[in-house]
Amino acid sequence: MKNDIEINKARAIYYNIFANFFILDGDMKSYFELLRMLNLVVQAPLDDSCQQAIKNILSKLDRDSNVTLMQEFDDIFHSPLSKNIRTTASFYDEQVESGKKRVQMVEFLAKTPIRRDEQKYHEYEDSVGFIFAFMSELIELINSGKSEYINTVHCVFEQVLNDFIDEFAKNVYEHKKSDIYRNLMVVLHSFIEFERLYLQVSKPKPKDIINQKDNLTDEERARRERNKALKALGPKQSCSDGSCAS
């Protein structure tokens, strides 16, 4: 039990770190807290690559100003001059914002005392920053004795975060403006692999590559595949003898 509490403390810190990188409100107090947490976890990292990445991040962040971080965040997620990375689970699930994954997150929230402060946080409930913050708060509730949220944490990870986080991290890592965030994705990769082991959740299978050249709907593509398969079987059998189902 004591070991679980210590592990949960570390998990909550990591989730909080990731949340602070994706929920930027210009508040210097939050920025200094982020620096404090980074300096804390670099002393006991998940692995060597994680430690080096955190050191790289700390070397690039200004100790007295969040301008560098804010600028890179805008370049990756909001700049009109480059490809912007989408941050919601719904987008990676359905290619739309505010989809089924947002509904799932709202339902998970309804089972807890945690709510989205719409005055301070304008992104959807299934945005990556909100999910990280939600997980951090849930784990802290668990450590305070609210064991009923253990299953909620598992479900949010398995049903929402796990499904899209690898693709999201790859997009951020490969973005041409990514520097601080490229190192952050190394840390995130190590942490997600730890979470999968800790929560006993398998890495999702790669999504099938969708052929978009023909601009066909899934239904039409399936119909054509069925027709192709039927043609390959040869001429249709006559049903006049009643041997075929109508």
According to the model, what pLDDT value does residue 240 have? 40
Instruction: Give the residue extent of every domain in the chain.
Output: 2-199
According to the model, what pLDDT value does residue 213 have? 43
Rounded CA-CA distance 38/59 in Å is 11
According to the model, what pLDDT value does residue 237 have? 42
- 137-176 pLDDT, tens digit per residue, is 999 999 999 999 999 999 999 999 999 999 999 999 999 9
Residue 49: pLDDT band (50, 70, 90) is: very high
According to the model, what pLDDT value does residue 59 have? 97
pTM, full prediction: 0.82
According to the model, what pLDDT value does residue 203 have? 95
Rounded CA-CA distance 82/103 in Å is 30
CA angle (225, 164, 42) in 5-degree steps:
155
% of the chain with per-residue pLDDT over 70: 83
**Contact by Cβ (8 Å): 171, 84:** no
CATH of 2-199, one of 3.30.930.10, 3.40.710.10, 1.10.3480.10, 1.10.10.200: 1.10.3480.10
How many other CB atoms sit within 10 Å of the CB of residue 149? 21
Least confident window among 112-116, 176-180, 221-225:
221-225
The encoded tokens of residue 149 equal 């949220």
Q: Is the pLDDT of residue 68 over 80?
A: yes
